[in-house]
Amino acid sequence: MELILKNVKKKDYPVLKSLAKSLGFEIEEKIEKPYNPEFVKEILEAEQSIKDGKGLNIKLEDLWK
The answer to whether residue 18 is domain-embedded is: no
Domain extent at residue 37 = 32-56
Is the model's pLDDT at 29 over the cut of 90? no
What whole-number distance in Å separates Cα of residue 4 and Cα of residue 11? 18
State residue 46's pLDDT score: 92
The answer to whether residue 1 is domain-embedded is: no
Q: Other CB atoms closer than 10 Å to residue 42's CB: what's the count?
A: 11
Closest by CA to 29, choosing from 16, 44, 45, 46, is 16
The answer to whether residue 63 is domain-embedded is: no
State residue 63's pLDDT score: 83
pTM across the whole model: 0.42
The answer to whether residue 49 is domain-embedded is: yes
- Average pLDDT for the chain: 88
Total number of domains constituting the chain? 1
The answer to whether residue 19 is domain-embedded is: no
The answer to whether residue 40 is domain-embedded is: yes
pLDDT tens, position by position, 40-51: 999 999 999 989
Instruction: Give the torsion sign (CA, 42, 45, 49, 50).
Output: positive
Instruction: Give the torsion sign (CA, 28, 34, 38, 40).
Output: negative
